[in-house]
Amino acid sequence: MSRLTALSASLLTALLATSGALAAEIPLDQRRSNNDFVSADTRAMQSDDTANPGMLAVLDGEAIWNAKGGGQSSKSCADCHGDAAVSMKGVAARYPAFSAVLNRPVDLEQRINLSRTSDQKAEAFAFESKELLALTVYVAHQSRGMPDAVEETAQTKPFIEAGRTLFERREGQLNLSCAQCHDENWGKKLSGSIIPQAEPTGYPIYRLEWQEVGSLQRRLRECMYAVRAQPFDYGAPELVDLELYLMWRARGLPMETPAVRP
Amino acid sequence: MARYNPSRRSVLQTAGALAGAGTFARISLRPALATPEMMQDAVRAAIGEAQVQKGKVKLDLPPLVENGNSVPCTVTVDSPMTANDHVKAIHIFNEKNPQPNVISVKLGPRAGKASFSTRIRLADTQNITAIAEMSDGSCWSDEVFVIVTLAACVEEPKP
Amino acid sequence: MIGRALTHVPASAKRGDIIEIKALISHIMETGYRVGITGQPIPRDIIEDFVCTYNGEEIFRAKFYPAIAANPFMSFFTVATESGTIAFSWTDQHGATQVQTAAITVE
């Protein structure tokens, strides 16, 4: 092989290997929690467990954890899983995770519903229902402070890539991609608010705009609506792929559930 | 801070001009907002005919709020809080929400410190006023101008 | 419907200390001005009264209006006078009341 061919071959290989490089990904050491981009008052609200309304949902979730599932098995989560502070520690930090049952990644809400239906023999909670949010925030809260541990494995890699494609794809009447705001313009202002990097380490969050706790899927749908795209339905595989990509993108950052965001 | 007080007429004229020019105007089914006159009525209803002086009261609000749904608000009044000299009540009023009252707090010497914090809703950029009633019948106030910007994106109602 | 409450009272204090008390309650605080899917205003539903007592004696009272944010939060102060119970009560416009208590040891 001539030197020129070898040089261009190695350059080509390098470019192909870093498939995301063209989209100006945030360097790992520059990633910062969304918490860094909110006002000091909002940060104070998050860090005070008596002022953080998300903690009320954590208490609701604890009650559901200990209550009988209402299904045929009449077991509570606690009956099998015991103290959530022990059994659920670190779990949310690994989600979305691959489900052997569904042969694809699922997010924490879906995983909880899988347990409800197959183990508790109870009805699944509706997406964005008060019960599902409370239980999810309670489980995710047990990982607060731990680093986001979503990894790329042979199983999850194609789904992470699918999520990345969605993240970088322009959509909607406004023809904007997530990456344009959150990779390329984070830290700058949009209509008086600072654009965060979109690291979802605090979900489910208490959002001031909602005046209640909500899921990452809700937030993603609202962002899609904002660029005038038809939002994916709750539970759609595209949303889970996107959640997976975002949580992988945030790997290493500390979990904050329940976060408080504007 | 200087009091910013656009008349309702000038605000409506500007809004009309913008709508006419074809600029994107967010049409909201908002109820009629309170007026400064309604606020004065609410103040009188709370403290009667007592004269309100500026001073002793510190109203803490962020000058630019992140989200009008939840604005942290702290009032602190300079007072020894003794049996003979204390703050009896603190009231907060607004000018542009649909209703002029925000909160009325009753205190006494047992408070030790005449201060409280809460979170309030602000429907628009406006002046907020805090009035403290003292045990000797005098009333003191502070006023803050707050700019309210909504979240940058237009959200769909929760399904 | 009044939901859960989270309160914070220092577990112990020295007599005469001024202590900070915090109280958070789960409630939608529906203003009565929001318009629902039908185009009709959603009826007002708010907590109107918040009272805090210290061994039965009222130390703080607040009247909430719709301008108080959802999930009302209050923080205020009181002088630690004696050991006992600090009680919180929230009453909504329908008259329903929620109560929570916290113990304090004063040396």
Three-class SS string for B107-129? Answer: CCHHHCCCEEEEEECCCCCEEEE
A2 assigned to some structural domain:
no
A212 domain residue, yes or no: yes
CB contact under 8 A, A208 and B69: yes
> What's the maximum distance between 2 C-alpha atoms anywhere in chain B?
62
For chain A, helix, strand, coil in percent to 5 are 45, 10, 45
Task: Judge whether A24 lies within some domain.
Answer: no
> Same domain for A170 and A137?
no
Q: Where are the beta strands (DSSP E) in chain A?
A: 97-99, 104-106, 189-190, 193-194, 205-207, 212-214, 260-261
* CA nearest to C40 within chain B: B29
Measure the CA–CA gap between A77 and A87, rounded to whole angstroms.
11
pLDDT confidence tier of residue A144, bands split at 50, 70 and 90:
very high
Q: What is the DSSP letter of C71?
A: S
> Which residues of chain B make contact with C26, given a CB cutoff of 8 A?
none
Give the chains touching A; criterion: ≥3 Cβ pairs < 8 Å.
B, C
Q: Is B89 on the interface with C (CB under 8 A)?
A: no
Q: Which residue of A has its CA nearest to C70?
A: A211
| CB-based contact, C74 to chain B, within 8 Å | yes
Instruction: Give residue A24's pLDDT.
Output: 72
Binned at pLDDT 50, 70 and 90, residue B117 comes out as very high
Any B CB within 8 A of C23 CB: no
In a domain, A28, yes or no: no
Contact C69 A55 (CB under 8 A): no
Rounded Cα distance, A160 and A20, in Å: 12
Same domain, A84 and A184: no
| Full-model pTM | 0.87
Are residues A245 and A165 part of one domain? yes
pLDDT at B48 over 60: yes
Q: Catalytic site residue A223?
A: yes
Decide if B30 and C75 are in contact by the 8 Å CB cutoff.
Answer: no
Q: Parallel, antiparallel, or unpaired for β C12-13 and C97-106?
A: parallel
Chain B residues in contact with C57 by the CB 8 A cut-off are 110
Q: Give the one of B98, B112, B116 whose C-beta lies nearest to C75's C-beta.
A: B116
A210 chain-B contacts, CB cut-off 8 A: 158
Name the strand (E) or helix (H) holding A113: helix A108-118
- A79-137 pLDDT, tens digit each: 999 999 999 999 999 999 999 999 999 999 999 999 999 999 999 999 999 999 999 99
Q: Mean pLDDT across the stretch B29-52?
A: 83
Cβ atoms A193, A205 nearer than 8 A: no
Residue A72 included in any domain: yes
B108/A contact by beta carbon, under 8 A: no
Interchain contact C65–B (C-beta under 8 A): yes
Domains of chain B and CATH, by start: 32-148 (2.60.40.2470)
Q: Judge whether A211 is closer than 8 Å to chain C, CB to CB.
A: yes
Query: Residues of B with CB below 8 A from A234's CB?
Result: 159
Are residues A121 and A185 both part of a single domain? no
The position carrying tokens 């792929």 is A241
How long, in residues, is chain A? 262
Q: What is the mean pLDDT of chain A?
A: 91
Say yes or no: A159 and A37 in one domain: yes
Where are the extended beta strands (E) located within C10-64?
12-13, 18-25, 47-54, 57-64
- Does one domain contain both A192 and A123? no
Indicate if A226 and A102 belong to the same structural domain: no
Q: What is the pLDDT of residue B32?
A: 62
Asked if B101 reaches chain C (Cβ–Cβ under 8 Å), the answer is yes
Task: Tell which of A141, A161, A192 closes a domain.
Answer: A141
Q: pLDDT tens, B9-19?
A: 444 454 444 44
- What is the average per-residue pLDDT within B55-73? 93
Tell me: do A155 and A133 sit in the same domain.
Answer: no
Residues 6 or more apart whose Cβ sits within 8 Å of residue B139:
B47, B50, B51, B52, B53, B131, B132, B133
- A84, A105: one domain: yes
Q: Which of C21, C73, C74 to mutate to test the interface with A (most CBs of A within 10 A)?
A: C73
Domains by residue range for chain C, with CATH: 5-106 (2.60.40.10)
Say if A25 falls within a structural domain: no
Domain assignment of residue A1, yes or no: no
* CB-CB neighbors (< 8 A) of C31 in chain B: 98, 121
For the beta carbon of residue A74, count every other beta carbon within 10 angstroms: 12
Question: Which residue would you say has higher pLDDT here, B94 or A6?
Answer: B94
Report how far residue A178's alpha carbon sits from residue A168's, in angstroms, rounded to the nearest whole number: 6
Q: B12-44: string of b/e by CB count within 10 Å (b at 16+)?
A: eeeeeeeeeeeeeeeeeeebebbeeebbeebbe
Please tell me the predicted confidence (pLDDT) of residue A5.
55
Tokens 């660029």 correspond to what residue? Answer: A227
Give B 51-90 residues with CB within 8 A of chain A. Answer: 62, 64, 66-67, 69-70, 72
Rounded Cα distance between C45 and C27, Å, is 9
Task: Tell me if chain B has a CB within 8 Å of the CB of A182.
Answer: no
Whether the per-residue pLDDT at B99 is higher than 80: the answer is: yes
CB contact B46 to C (< 8 Å): no
Q: Domain ends where: A141, A161, A184? A: A141
- pLDDT of C36 reads 80
One domain for residues A257 and A157: yes
In which domain, by residue range, is A76 found?
54-141
Whether residues A196 and A102 fall in one domain: no
Q: CB contact, 8 Å: A60 with chain C? A: yes
Q: Give yes or no for residue B26 having a pLDDT over 80.
A: no
Q: Fill in the DSSP letter of residue A37.
A: G
**From the CA atom positions of chain A, what is the Rg in Å?**
20
Residue where a domain stops, chosen among A141, A176, A196? A141
Q: Which residue is catalytic, options A77, A178, A181, A223?
A: A223
Tell me what pLDDT residue C45 has. Answer: 96
Residues of chain A with pLDDT > 90, as a percent, come to 86
Any domain includes A9: no
User: Does A128 lie in the same domain as A163?
Assistant: no
Range B98-102 average pLDDT? 94
Judging contacts by C-beta atoms under 8 Å, the chain A residues touching residue C23 are 50
Q: Cα distance from A191 to chain B (closest Cα, Å)?
A: 5
Q: Looking at residues A216-234, what average pLDDT do you find?
A: 96
* pLDDT-derived band at A6, boundaries 50, 70, 90: low
Residue A205 and residue A203: Cα distance in Å, rounded?
Answer: 5
Which residues of chain B are within 8 Å of residue A221 when distances are taken between CB atoms? 156
Peptide bond into A204 cis (omega under 30): yes
Residues 212-251 of A with CB under 8 A from B: 214, 218, 221-223, 225-226, 231, 234
- Taking only the tens place, the pLDDT of each residue in C49-70 is 999 999 999 999 999 999 999 9
The CATH number of residue A204's host domain is 1.10.760.10
- For residue A198, give the DSSP letter: -
Split into its structural domains, chain A has a count of: 2
pLDDT at B89: 98
- In a mutagenesis test of the B interface, which of A39, A41, A223, A233 is the best target, namely the one with the most B β-carbons within 10 Å? A41
- B139-148 and C97-106: which strand pairing? unpaired
CA angle (C11 as vertex; C7, C12 as ends), nearest 5 = 140
